[in-house]
Structure 1
Amino acid sequence: MRGVVFPGQSGVEIREFPDPIPGPGEVVVRVRASGMCGSDLHVYRSAAAAEPAKLLIQGHEPCGEVAAVGPGVPAQVASVGDRVMIHHYWGCTTCQECRSGWPQLCSTAEPRVPTLNEHGAHADYMKIPAIQTIPLPESLSFSTGAALGCGTGTAWGALARLGDVAGKTVAIIGQGPVGLSATMFAASLGARTIAVDIAGNRLEQAQKLGADAVINSAGTDLADAIRDLTAGRGPELVIETSGITAAAAQALEIVATWGKVCFVGIGADVTFNTRDTLRRQITLLTSWTLSTVDLMRCADYVDRNKLPVDDLFSHRWTLDQAEEAYRWFNKQSDGKGVFEA
């Protein structure tokens, strides 16, 4: 089978790998959609790999059809032909975190993660534990299923951490795929949604997905603009998705007294002085992806409410176009890409 690897220094290669064979408790999925995630670029841009022969297949936003089932997998868990999303982490299966649907937080073993220590999904096939497959509703596309398994699901997870959003004002800083997904979900859940970014095309997309107001923070004082939109109070809820330290500081600055800030973007340094924040009674949260249970809930919600997750994808590629696709994606100038088969 074909698989996409990153040899380093923004290089892409398509290599041949043996077709995977499922062992006990495993399945092989024919990959029908594999999303491109911003975190891919950390590996893509890295220095040359020390051991090229051990390069792993990239891609951790998979969705597809079960192609083969290993020994000991009950039919109600997975059968050949099932349309499945994939929760792309697996752990020991027995600790409290694994049993609660959070294998990425496994407390007794290093979690297995495609692209980090397992082969990923930019390939024709992918082998995974059967328990990590999640049924994909018939009305949802494979590309939607891929998005729900990572970026869009991450937005769902952040809103779940914040709690009830209906009737509240939610400011979402950063309108990349995760931020746009958060805007879409928050609007559909009954929040007044303010989308913030420095790119006009992303703000236009945010409006299409339900944002009540947009702010281009490149040429506007964000705190002033937020105060104008909220009668001086600020939003009750803020989600920061960019992972930029300056944006994290803005999130703390704009949130209302008694408000909550959820940090999703990776890499920001979040600092505050208690003298400055003591009388504001704010709550700070972090959120990372979502559980297997919440992935099922998220897919059901998207299905019932006919949310346009597919609209997040601006570019669609085949595996043979991987080099071109990542040259485009590396610019981070617009939407989200997906490999389809």
Structure 2
Amino acid sequence: MKTLLFPGDRRVELAEVPTPTPARGQVLVQVKAAGLCGSDLHQQFRVPASEREGIVVGHHTSPDTIPGHEPAGVIVTLGDGVTTLAVGDRVAVAHVTGCGHCVACRRGRDIDCPEKVFYGLDRDGAMADYMVAEAKDCVVLPETVSFVEGAFWACGAGTGYAALTRGGLVAGETVAVVGLGPVGTAAAFFAAKAGARVVGFDPLDERRDHARGLGAHHTIDPTDPGAMEQLAELTRGEGADLVIEASGVAPGRASTIQIAGVGGRIVFVGLGNRTVEFDIDQVIQKQITCMGSWVFSTPDLQDMIDSAVDLGISVENMVTFRYRLDEAEKALSEFDAGSLGKTVFVWD
């Protein structure tokens, strides 16, 4: 089968490798769509070739590991003992798999498992014609949900949705989203669909325009010296009820304290590795609640997709770029340069 590899130094490599065979409790998925995520860039694609073999976010990765953790496709082979799925099922695959036995896993929270494994990082992922997945990590895609949507739900869209749930969004509230990449734009989209008033923050004109086209009611350039005055005017001086921080950069994270109103909630969802200075006195005086949201559980992924279908909500229009696997060099070059919206590899 054909696969994509990231040897490092911003290079891509197409390779032919044997098609894997599913073991007990596993399935073989013929991949139909595989999304690109920002973590693919900074954990694998941009990494110097000399550093590609090693530990990333506590997990081992290698240039020989097939990348990609946003898969959707069709089950073509069942491993022994798989009874909950059938050949021909259309599925998305949750991108973290746990041991299956600990308390976190039994709650469906594989992301909290001490022995969790990430598809596309320390186990082969989605950027190949076929991938092996644990049957327990697969969620069924209704016929009305495209494979491209399923791939986006598997990480980016689902992460944005889960951040709003974590923050306890209430219809009629003002929601500020800091960082309008794929996760932030998804959060803005879902917040607007849930009846919130949405204000998006991003320094890029194109991203602000894109977010407004998907439901954000107002957008602000955070580098504008008058950004906070604009927010005050929009909220009559009250600030945001809920702030979703999806940029993962220090200035964006620090700005949330100013953006949140009295009694506001902040959900941090964008990962970053730099120290951030916070005005803790403002947190106290404004009585702000700060939370973290790290993706979602596998049962939550199924619930999110099913709920979207019932509500007639599609995330198809958020996917702005589609490429074949043999166009990977162009896809990664444009994605690395900050392409707008979501990028997905497609097979049909």
Alignment TM class, shorter chain as reference: over 0.9
- The alpha-carbon distance between structure 1 residues 331 and 283, as it changes in their structure 2 partners (threshold 3 A), is same
Taking the TM superposition and a 5 Å limit, the aligned residue runs for 1:26-175 are 26-42=26-42, 43-49=44-50, 55-74=64-83, 77-107=84-114, 109=115, 111-175=116-180
* C-alpha contact 2:171 2:195 (8 A) present in aligned 1: yes
Residues 46-73 of structure 1 deviation map (CA, whole Å, 9 limit, x = unaligned):
1115688961111110000001001111
Question: What runs of 5+ residues in structure 1 fail to find an aligned partner?
Answer: none
Q: Shift of residue 273 of structure 1?
A: 4.0
Aligned residue number for residue 6 of structure 2: 6
The CA deviation at 1:322 is 0.8
The offset of 1:241, in angstroms, is 0.5
2:303 maps to what in 1? 297
The question of 1:331 aligning with 2:332 is answered no
C-alpha distance in 2 between matches for 1:318 and 1:333: 17
Mean CA deviation greater in 5-14 or 198-207? 198-207
Q: What code does the residue aligned with 1:132 have?
A: D
CA RMSD of aligned residues (A): 1.5
Given that 1:248 and 1:269 are in contact with CA atoms closer than 8 Å, whether structure 2 keeps it comes out as no
In structure 2, what is the Cα distance between the partners aligned to 1:209 and 1:273? Answer: 33
Report the TM-score, using the length of structure 2 for normalisation: 0.93
Cα distance in 1 for partners of 2:255, 2:310 equals 35
Counterpart Cα distance in 2 of 1:144 and 1:51 = 30
Q: Give the Cα–Cα distance (whole angstroms) in 1 for the partners of residues 328 and 66 of structure 2.
A: 12
Greater Cα shift, 302-311 or 21-30 = 302-311
Deviation at 1:272? 2.6
Identity across the alignment (%): 40
- The aligned residue for residue 177 of structure 1 is 182
1:19 aligns with 2:22: no
Mapped partners of 2:128, 2:136: distance in 1: 21
Instruction: Give 1:302 deviation, angstroms.
Output: 1.9
Structure 2 residue identity aligned to 1:60: H
- Residues 282 and 23 (structure 1), Cα distance of their counterparts in 2 relative to 1, 3 Å cut: same
Q: Is the 8 A contact 2:257 2:279 kept in 1?
A: no
| CA deviations over 1:123-168 (Å, ceiling 9, x no partner) | 0000011111101011010000000010000001101101132111
Moved over 6 A (4+): 50-53
Q: Which amino acid aligns with 2:39?
A: S
Inter-partner Cα distance in structure 1 for 2:51 and 2:177: 39
Q: Number of matched residues?
A: 337
